[in-house]
Structure 1
Amino acid sequence: MDVVTLLIAAGAALFFAIRLYQVLGRRTGHTPEPQPAPASDGPKAADSEAPMAPAFSGPAGNGLTAIAEADPRFDPVEFVAGARAAYTLIVEAFARGEKETLRPLLSDKVYARYAEAIDARLAKDEVTTTEIDRIAEAQITGADLAGKTARVKVHFQADIATETRDKDGQLVSGDLANKIDADEIWTFERPIDSRDPNWVLAGVRTN
């Protein structure tokens, strides 16, 4: 499947105006404070009152735990909310050909491919329209910390419709009257030791 089809089939969420870097993986003010250990009559270990790092379960549990230990701001719940927002923002910006919006949200490699696809479409005077019905699923399916790079994979399932028309309004591909089931894995990453909290989209593949 070529990059244009992958991008158009990517679906979208409900929070279009939210930037990826504003919400992905950052703890918010409602995060509860760690509770002290209960009192004991016996001697206490030296670190008995030290807050424990969060632990997560599931197939991505070990990776999420490693990321949270390296970056205490990371919160998987907030990350998924941000990923949904990024899903919408990236797909709709691509459909409109807004490279300036895409630039801070994509890795260098992914941006180069998206920009090339946008330029090719503009050269043909083609216009793409995408309509979103719903996102059925946005779920973390994988995570790892490789050296200083944190990566999180999110499985998206969405019902969408898309079509492309030429400058005369003639249909080139797709059909807004027929929705398709988008089923993809998006991979986000960021340098864990960077002061920049931004995550970027580093890969898209069909599931």
Structure 2
Amino acid sequence: MDMDVLQLLFFAGLAVFLGVRLYMLLGKPSGRTHEEHMREERERARAAGREPRPADPHAEPAPAAAPAGPAFSGPAAAGLTAIAGQDPSFDPDMFAKGARQAYDMIVQAYAAGDKEALETLLSEKVMKAWGASIDARAEAGQTLVTEIERLKKAEIVEASLNDNRARVKVAFSAEIASETRDADGAVIEGDINTLKTVEEVWSFERDVTSRNPNWRLAGVRAA
């Protein structure tokens, strides 16, 4: 698969970014100024035989509307709010949907030994460890076959922002079948016909000051 396509798919981050930029361009009023609008209102009022009611100079000013902002809930709310405060394009719902796609892509790329694909999806530390595992498997003449039957859950359970480093942890629960075969094709571990429930927490990270919208897998632990 072309790497540009992988980057676009991963968390749909670029799509969100472009969507925000589009809103900035299209969501703002254009054309008439405020003064021109008020003048047209006065002219329409005079044509209808009425004058616009002048503002009461003694009236108390209307309270300012509270600024709109993200309202998140759950155990990760504080962290999500902090991240959204630094990255307006961040959307937890889209992140969770993208995480589901990323899970499948990463698991399949690791099984296939596709280090080129993994380099765009993993942090340097994780890539080093997983790359070594892929190399050892290749040197032994082994192949790994993995099938994801069903991804039952992808839920954000924790989020934080330290300096410019945003981290979001996602709890996954998946039904997976896998087996490892030797150079002759004999199964030496696992069983592709047996499903197992795998529950893990994946940590994704991103520098919110970076123009690159992609998040990278920075850690995996058992749930």
Structure 1 residue matching 2:120: 3-state secondary structure: helix
- 1:21 offset after TM fit, Å? 5.4
How many residues are aligned here?
183
Distance 1:59 1:67 in 2: 14
1:155 Cα deviation after fit: 0.3
1:177 CA drift (Å) = 1.5
Give distance in 1, aligned partners of 2:71 and 2:156. 15
Q: Report the Cα offset of residue 132 of structure 1.
A: 1.5
1:43 maps to a residue whose letter is: P
- Check whether the contact 1:185–1:206 (CA below 8 A) recurs between aligned residues: yes
Asked if 1:98 corresponds to 2:109, the answer is: no
- Distance of 1:147 and 1:99 partners within structure 2: 30
Cα-Cα RMSD: 2.4
Are residue 112 (structure 1) and residue 125 (structure 2) matched?
Answer: no
1:92-147 per-position Cα deviation (integer Å, ceiling 9, x unaligned): 00100000000011100000001000000000110110111101110000000011
Q: Is the 8 A contact 1:164 1:171 kept in 2?
A: yes
Judge conservation of contact 1:151–1:188 (CA < 8 Å) in 2: yes
The yes-or-no answer on 1:121 pairing with 2:137 is yes
**Consecutive unaligned residues in structure 1, runs of 5 or more:** 1-16, 35-40
- CA distance in structure 2 between the partners assigned to 1:109 and 1:132 by the alignment: 25
Deviant stretches of 4+, over 6 Å: 30-34
Say which SS state the counterpart of residue 93 (structure 2) adopts: helix
Residue 6 of structure 2 aligns with an amino acid whose one-letter code is R
Which of 33, 39, 43 does residue 61 from structure 2 map onto? Answer: 43
Q: C-alpha distance in 1, partners of 2:124/2:149?
A: 30
Conserved 8 A contact 2:178-2:190: yes
Question: What 5-or-longer segments of structure 2 have no aligned partner?
Answer: 28-58
Question: Comparing both structures, which one devotes a greater share of its residues to helix?
Answer: 2
Q: Give the aligned residue type for 1:163.
A: E
What is the CA-CA distance between 1:52 and the residue it aligns to?
2.1
* Change in CA separation of 1:199 and 1:113 when aligned onto 2, cut-off 3 Å: same
Contact 2:104–2:148 (CA<8 Å) still a contact in 1?
A: no
- Mapped pair 1:148 → 2:135: no
Q: State which drifts further: 24-33 or 152-161.
A: 24-33
SS at structure 2 position matched to 1:102: helix
**Counterparts in 2 of 1:21 and 1:73: CA distance versus 1, 3 Å:** same
Name the SS for the 1:122 alignment partner. helix
C-alpha contact 2:181 2:189 (8 A) present in aligned 1: yes
C-alpha distance in 2 between matches for 1:85 and 1:184: 15
Give the TM-score of the pair, scaled to structure 2.
Answer: 0.76
Q: What is the identity, as a one-letter code, of the residue corresponding to 1:179?
A: L
Find the partner of 1:166 among 179, 182, 197. Answer: 182
From 79, 91, 106, the counterpart of 1:75: 91
* Larger Rg belongs to: 2
Moved more, 25-34 or 52-61: 25-34
Q: Could you tell me how far apart the structure 2 residues matched to 1:142 and 1:101 are?
A: 27
Helix, strand or coil for the counterpart of 2:89? coil
Give the Cα separation in 1 of the matches to 2:142 and 2:134: 10
Note the C-alpha offset of 1:32: 9.3
Q: 2:6 aligns with which of 5, 19, 29?
A: 19
Q: Residue by residue, what CA displacement relative to the aligned partner does 1:153-195 show, whole Å, maximum 9, x if unpaired?
A: 0000000100000111111100012110000000000011111
- Comparing both chains, which one has the higher relative contact order based on Cα–Cα distances under 8 Å and sequence gaps of 6 or more? 1
Residue in 2 aligned with 1:5? Answer: none
